[in-house]
Structure 1
Amino acid sequence: MNVRTFLSEISGIGYSSAKKLERINLFTVMDLINHYPFRYDDFSNTVSTMDAKVGEKVTLQGEIWSISNIFTRSRKIITKAIFNDGTSPIELTWFNSSWLTKQIAVGDRLQISGKITKYGRKFSILMPQWEKLDSHQPSVVSHQTLHTGRLVPVYPETYGINSKWLRTRIAKLMPNILSEIKDPLPDEIRENMITLQAALSQIHFPKDYQEIEQARQRLGFDELFFIQLATLKVRADWSKKMSVKKLKVKSEKLKVFVKTLPFKLTKAQLRVTDEILDDLQKGIPMNRLVQGEGGSGKTVVAAIAMYIAYLNGFRSLYMAPTEILAFQHFDTVKKFLEPYGTSVGIYTGSRKKVADKSDIVIGTHALLSNKLSTENVGLIIVDEQQRFGVEQRTLLRSKAKIPHFLTMTATPIPRTVALTIYGDLDLSIIDELPKGRPKISTHIVPENKRKDSYNFINTHVLNGEQVYVITPLIEESETLISAKAAKVEFEKLMKVFPDLKLGLLHGRLRSKEKENVINAFRKGSIDIMVSTSVVEVGMDIPNATIMVIEGAERFGLAQLHQLRGRIGRGIKESFCLLYTSDIKSKNRLKHLETTYDGLKLAELDLKIRGSGEIFGIRQSGRFELKIASFSDLTLIEKTRSATQKLLSKNPSLDKYPPLQAQLRNLAPNVMPD
């Protein structure tokens, strides 16, 4: 057995349990060792029943006097036992645990832990943790019991696998595995932190809170350190990778193009354009991330980059995450660039309209097809890059003659996060919206005001305006459940607005069906569009002035801000209505009523909800933090400094084989070359 052994091959786990563990992404022994507790039950207070206080978490040692299953009238099973520690008997109660009568017998000596309650004059503990005092404990915790009488780790669980099961298996594996794990951190980086072996032992089975803190400090440092090492090393390697032909920026032609645009570029657009043009004129391939809210004008900046590539004799590929967005970009880029002699093609699963050598090809993941000619491609643009896997982005990049790579996102990413997880990319931010955009008036709508809000919507639709209704976020991926929820909402609103025309849009529709619904909404044939949250943020319907979001408490602030960015594209006043029945979330949602800066809202998300919720599950993209937080600026700075120090001393890291091995494990999460 070693750290890479599959859990299905481990005695005491087997195939059935291994399949359940796969649901929480645990496949190997190392995965299980790296499955950390999210909290600890403090059962270290060992007392007698006589001294225990009501409401106190305690550990008792004693003997079982009786145990039996009782059937209630509703046929539920309650297991009751009388336990005596020699000072006073106490009643123990378990629900739906009839099997306990086979595991615990009268006369067994147990150690039990739980919260003391009192019914009448009787002391009781509901659902106590327990273990037999004469049971053999694994050597890693031989000084203590495992489930009681200590700080007891509680883990993220899955159906059929509880924390007691996880504790038992981890405790059994730890003694054999710890000796095999090599600490990858050099002494000059580790300084006074504990070793990796000690950290793993202490995070699972701490003697006290100080040991937990020591373990969290070390494991949190490792998480951020290796992310930064991976991204900064890729960046350094990329800059040395190759020298390529410098593109020439033909200023006069560019000035004419910009001057004839139907709008004036903002200062932010001009600044980001200059940063991109500087990259294209260097002798190394561009590798830049452009971040800007929906409606900030990322597409025209991309069009300028593609125009420069065209003037230098190179083709461009532009990959969008969905067909809806690909078609929209196709129409926009065609309008911008075809008057200047460029040919623009579209290449998606349902539509392939490409000349033999179109100067610009816009498409979805279909662009990865070998059937598409990619000869002489010099620029690749990926929109909403976190929607694509690393393998897809790498394959696309490999098709370019000169791999200038521009990625774009409308997701507001706090700067500390961007510098950490996208450290391999240069970062540009379009932090300004075009002038004349109306502010979107945002309101939280409690349940008792729902009817009034429906009247408000009806009035605006009768005035010729259109409405989005976003159904509650059930899962980040577009599942049948999400589609069903959208259909239920659609049918409900058909009854609320019987005289209006409603449309339904979700990711489970066929491409042609989606396109028909979008076109109908764009032409004004649909008054109210009922949609799931994962359908494109880039949809541009100037006549849509109201955004209704059901179950707003389920979304992060930045996600809600992105959704409301679909409206306010025209000149009419726009409204975002947040429906929620969750009183606790109202203070958080109120930030949307006063804050219109996506980055500020993303920072608030970071503080309020933690790093795991920044982009939502599906969008988080590259790295998973289990211990560290992207809001821990001190640790981010510390790990970045340590990374830079190490790379300046030994750029190839050939003097640190354990570090190289750890980086190879991280490689799938970083844009490889």
Structure 2
Amino acid sequence: MYLTGVGPRRKELLDKELGIRTYRDLLEYYPYKYVDRSKIYLLSEISHDMPFVQIKGRILSFEEFEMGKRKKRIVAHFSDGHGMCDLVWFNGAQYIYKNYIIGKEYIVFGKPSVYGGRIQFTHPDIDDASQIQLDNMGMQPFYVTTEKMKKAGITSRAIEKMTKTLIAKLAEPLSETIPEFIIRPLRLVSRDEAMRKIHYPKSAEDTQRARLRLKFEELFYVQLNILRYANDNRRKYRGYNLKRIGAQFNWFYSHNLSFELTGAQKRVMHEIRKDMASGRQMNRLLQGDVGSGKTLVALMAMLIAIDNGFQACLMAPTEILAEQHLQTVKEFLQGMNVRIELLTGIVKGKKRRDVLDSLANGTVNILIGTHAIIEDNVRFHNLGLAVVDEQHRFGVAQRAKLWNKNDNPPHVLIMTATPIPRTLAMTIYGDLDVSIIDELPPGRKPIETIHKYDNQTTSLYNGIRQQILLGRQVYIVFPLIKESEKSDLKNLETGYETLCEAFPEFRLSKIHGQMKDKEKEAEMKNFVSGQTQILVATTVIEVGVNVPNASVMVILDAQRFGLSQLHQLRGRVGRGAEQSYCILVTSHKLTNETRKRIDIMCYTNDGFEIAEADLKLRGPGDLEGTQQSGIAFDLKIADIARDGQIVQMARNEAQKIIDADPDCNKTENEILWRRLKELRNTNINWAAIS
């Protein structure tokens, strides 16, 4: 089938700029907005700040104005019988004079503006009034195009014409992709009706019903794939049955735990115990703000593994964080007969050989380390539980190596301090069970967040000095954004020198991503040990160590950070019992969106509330953690941030299918499994989700 208006050049541009290669791609390139074309405005009703409007009248005359070499501005003086306006073009004189006739009635559609005190329309859409039936015009769709496409004449209107031509050629209804037994109870329109009305609606109700159907379909297949994958894994990997709660766990709980667990920690611990004793492999995501007690919960899970005759490991993204986990675990297990070892790049020679030998013969109970744990020469005697801290810092292939360290895959507990909104968690981590610690330990004071402008350095420096004189330490963070690394790095270096001059009585450390790992580790250790009072850094400290003595986090150019990133940075302080502060420093010129971000940070410390707000402000692709995990969202019409109810509805329906047809072989579901197979090589990096 040949599509009128799409020659070789246009075909190439559509592919290169928008990824449109097939008729299906064109049909699935949806409008981003609509304008009601059924209403005609009088010129006397129009003001320059109105959106797109439609007028009806006649061209009275043309006028030309020279604009430099071989350039002309063509103006048509237009009247609707009640007033006058100008139609303006900056090129295409030959086309204009050939196609638009003085005295003939036209319908003009465009965005009004004012020039020289008169309403004008620049490069408007013009239709012959005798050929247009207003009742049939309905809602005009608008499509996103690029500058390159516009220069080649592929405007929104051109895409609209292509799509309408294609729809007109579809004599047969489009084949259905969802069975009637799902469509009918949810009152969804057919795929054919949805696809026709999304591009050619007669009313706002048409667009709503079409969008609901297409969003549901998109999200339903995402959820069906995730749940099918999770179901297959559960049946394939039985997992170790770790039912016994024995001497190590009981001794720790009775003697070493000097405080009461929070209600949230108890609830999560119950969920983990149930998983580990179920006889199927645990795949659980443990979410909780910095300082909520995730490591303690993970440690208790490790003790259950040890009581059942298994080993456990904890993998951290950096050496310094692995060392801190080692120190924390050793303090918790003081006096207990549990052997804990470290395996990072700095463990070498005889010590490394001893750790590896002891791990292989089973005398090491808990191994804590970095990606060194997944090296081929690291062999466990019987690994029963793998804990991964901040898993988005590890690639899929790296994690898979850890799962293969035993005959059967170990139970898996993934910890993250990045709060993930529920709808996003259902999509990114849909194959994992999710536990949330949403309660801070008693005695912790909420961090006070203050907004300051960049001309208030005197009061800022005075506050910093006051805190250091009280014996506290301070983080000062500069932005380091990839697009402008050189200038940002210069800002940090200059800023560091300025701060050294401002605080000559104190010692400062400096960390940024361009430094060698050893240099960063050394500078961080100086700060952790208290040898330096101020740490000047970029966001490399975002997933960092526990410095209970640090009570102030200053974030410069805070307008350049996303909400989740600001919240992660703020979580570096507030680890001790003292009052902590987060100072967000910005310029006076802030966009409305930035001001909202700053206000939310000052208003709440709730990570999940912040993550929900961030999702709505920025969309899923920008959220901290999703990019690193390799999950590329390419949903064509659904919006994870705003379509939470549809995500839930889609998941419920997908779960019903998996429950009723776990082997994917029932005849009534054949349409679903066939469609899922078609989609698997398209819009989402499915493997990364696992």
Q: Does residue 1:470 correspond to 2:498, yes or no?
A: no
2:610 aligned residue: 601
Task: Give the Å deviation of 1:324.
Answer: 4.4
Conservation of the 8 A alpha-carbon contact between 1:461 and 1:467: yes
Q: Does residue 1:647 correspond to 2:670, yes or no?
A: no
1:399-441 Cα distance to aligned partner (Å, 9 max, x none): 4433211111112234455456544322222222233323212
- Alignment partners' CA distance in 1, 2:658 and 2:193: 27
Conservation of the 8 A alpha-carbon contact between 1:113 and 1:128: no
Task: Give the Å deviation of 1:27.
Answer: 8.1
Conservation of the 8 A alpha-carbon contact between 1:458 and 1:497: no
- Alignment partners' CA distance in 2, 1:594 and 1:397: 41
Q: Does residue 1:542 correspond to 2:537, yes or no?
A: no
1:669 aligned residue: 686
Q: What SS does the corresponding residue of 1:213 show, helix, strand or coil?
A: helix
Task: Give the Å deviation of 1:473.
Answer: 7.4
- Alignment partners' CA distance in 2, 1:288 and 1:441: 32
1:495 aligned residue: 498
Residue correspondence of structure 1 range 48-447 to structure 2 within 5 A: 55-56=49-50, 57-59=52-54, 65=62, 70-71=67-68, 80-85=73-78, 90-93=85-88, 100-101=91-92, 104-109=95-100, 113-120=109-116, 122-125=118-121, 127-130=122-125, 151-155=140-144, 160-161=148-149, 165=154, 167=156, 168=158, 172=162, 175=166, 182-191=175-184, 192-259=187-254, 261=256, 263-264=258-259, 266-267=261-262, 268-333=264-329, 336=332, 340-347=337-344, 353=352, 355-356=356-357, 358=359, 359=364, 360-365=366-371, 367-373=373-379, 376-403=382-409, 404-415=411-422, 417-419=424-426, 421-447=428-454
Q: What SS does the corresponding residue of 1:106 show, helix, strand or coil?
A: helix
Among the aligned pairs, what percent are the same residue? 35
1:12 aligned residue: 9
- Alignment partners' CA distance in 2, 1:60 and 1:578: 50
- Per the alignment, do residues 347 and 12 of structure 1 end up closer, same or farther by CA in structure 2, a change over 3 Å counting? farther
Conservation of the 8 A alpha-carbon contact between 1:457 and 1:546: yes
- Alignment partners' CA distance in 2, 1:439 and 1:53: 50
- Alignment partners' CA distance in 2, 1:34 and 1:525: 60
Q: Which amino acid aligns with 1:481?
A: S
Task: Give the Å deviation of 1:617.
Answer: 6.0
Conservation of the 8 A alpha-carbon contact between 2:322 and 2:370: yes
- Per the alignment, do residues 579 and 227 of structure 1 end up closer, same or farther by CA in structure 2, a change over 3 Å counting? same
1:229-253 Cα distance to aligned partner (Å, 9 max, x none): 2333334334433434422534222
- Per the alignment, do residues 480 and 82 of structure 1 end up closer, same or farther by CA in structure 2, a change over 3 Å counting? closer
Q: What SS does the corresponding residue of 2:9 show, helix, strand or coil?
A: coil
- Alignment partners' CA distance in 2, 1:333 and 1:294: 17
Task: Give the Å deviation of 1:92.
Answer: 4.4
Conservation of the 8 A alpha-carbon contact between 1:114 and 1:129: yes
- Alignment partners' CA distance in 2, 1:31 and 1:503: 53
Task: Give the Å deviation of 1:254.
Answer: 1.3
- Alignment partners' CA distance in 2, 1:558 and 1:672: 20
Q: Which amino acid aligns with 2:598?
A: L
Conservation of the 8 A alpha-carbon contact between 2:343 and 2:370: no
Q: Which amino acid aligns with 2:140?
A: L
Q: Which amino acid aligns with 1:186?
A: P
- Per the alignment, do residues 263 and 594 of structure 1 end up closer, same or farther by CA in structure 2, a change over 3 Å counting? farther
Conservation of the 8 A alpha-carbon contact between 1:324 and 1:514: no
Q: What SS does the corresponding residue of 1:572 show, helix, strand or coil?
A: coil
Q: Which amino acid aligns with 1:503?
A: S
- Alignment partners' CA distance in 1, 2:35 and 2:380: 59
Q: What SS does the corresponding residue of 1:509 show, helix, strand or coil?
A: coil
Task: Give the Å deviation of 1:527.
Answer: 3.0
Task: Give the Å deviation of 1:562.
Answer: 2.7
Task: Give the Å deviation of 1:524.
Answer: 2.8
- Alignment partners' CA distance in 1, 2:626 and 2:484: 17
Task: Give the Å deviation of 1:217.
Answer: 0.8
- Alignment partners' CA distance in 1, 2:161 and 2:326: 57
- Alignment partners' CA distance in 1, 2:389 and 2:176: 39
Task: Give the Å deviation of 1:541.
Answer: 1.1
- Alignment partners' CA distance in 1, 2:25 and 2:515: 37
Task: Give the Å deviation of 1:221.
Answer: 1.5
- Alignment partners' CA distance in 1, 2:333 and 2:133: 73
1:485 aligned residue: 488
- Alignment partners' CA distance in 2, 1:661 and 1:390: 27
Q: Over alpha carbons, which structure has the higher Rg?
A: 2
- Per the alignment, do residues 16 and 614 of structure 1 end up closer, same or farther by CA in structure 2, a change over 3 Å counting? closer
Q: Which amino acid aligns with 1:81?
A: I
Q: What SS does the corresponding residue of 2:154 show, helix, strand or coil?
A: helix
Alignment gaps of 5+ in structure 2: 101-105
Q: What SS does the corresponding residue of 1:160 show, helix, strand or coil?
A: helix
- Alignment partners' CA distance in 1, 2:316 and 2:21: 33
Q: What SS does the corresponding residue of 1:407 show, helix, strand or coil?
A: strand
Q: Does residue 1:565 correspond to 2:571, yes or no?
A: yes
1:368-390 Cα distance to aligned partner (Å, 9 max, x none): 54454356433222222344454
Task: Give the Å deviation of 1:657.
Answer: 3.3
Q: What SS does the corresponding residue of 2:539 show, helix, strand or coil?
A: coil
- Alignment partners' CA distance in 1, 2:658 and 2:382: 35
Conservation of the 8 A alpha-carbon contact between 2:424 and 2:640: no
Q: What TM-score comes out, normalization by structure 1 length?
A: 0.80
Q: Which amino acid aligns with 1:172?
A: M
Conservation of the 8 A alpha-carbon contact between 1:116 and 1:124: yes
Conservation of the 8 A alpha-carbon contact between 1:239 and 1:284: yes
1:534-571 Cα distance to aligned partner (Å, 9 max, x none): 54334211221111123434545444333211101123
- Alignment partners' CA distance in 1, 2:536 and 2:200: 50
Conservation of the 8 A alpha-carbon contact between 1:610 and 1:631: no
- Alignment partners' CA distance in 1, 2:8 and 2:566: 47
Task: Give the Å deviation of 1:652.
Answer: 3.0
Q: What SS does the corresponding residue of 2:638 show, helix, strand or coil?
A: coil
Task: Give the Å deviation of 1:60.
Answer: 5.5
Superposed CA RMSD in Å reads 4.3
Q: What SS does the corresponding residue of 2:462 show, helix, strand or coil?
A: helix
Conservation of the 8 A alpha-carbon contact between 1:490 and 1:502: no
Conservation of the 8 A alpha-carbon contact between 2:445 and 2:578: yes
Q: What SS does the corresponding residue of 1:340 show, helix, strand or coil?
A: coil
Q: What SS does the corresponding residue of 2:441 show, helix, strand or coil?
A: coil
- Per the alignment, do residues 170 and 518 of structure 1 end up closer, same or farther by CA in structure 2, a change over 3 Å counting? farther
- Per the alignment, do residues 42 and 173 of structure 1 end up closer, same or farther by CA in structure 2, a change over 3 Å counting? closer
- Per the alignment, do residues 640 and 491 of structure 1 end up closer, same or farther by CA in structure 2, a change over 3 Å counting? same
Task: Give the Å deviation of 1:459.
Answer: 2.8
1:581-628 Cα distance to aligned partner (Å, 9 max, x none): 327344553444443332343345556666666657636875565424
- Per the alignment, do residues 374 and 579 of structure 1 end up closer, same or farther by CA in structure 2, a change over 3 Å counting? same
- Alignment partners' CA distance in 1, 2:208 and 2:478: 41
2:103 aligned residue: none
- Per the alignment, do residues 120 and 429 of structure 1 end up closer, same or farther by CA in structure 2, a change over 3 Å counting? closer
- Per the alignment, do residues 509 and 131 of structure 1 end up closer, same or farther by CA in structure 2, a change over 3 Å counting? farther
Q: Which amino acid aligns with 1:647?
A: I
- Alignment partners' CA distance in 2, 1:509 and 1:20: 38
Q: Which amino acid aligns with 2:475?
A: Y
Q: Which moved more, 1:400-409 or 1:328-337?
A: 328-337
Conservation of the 8 A alpha-carbon contact between 1:487 and 1:504: no
Matched residue count: 641
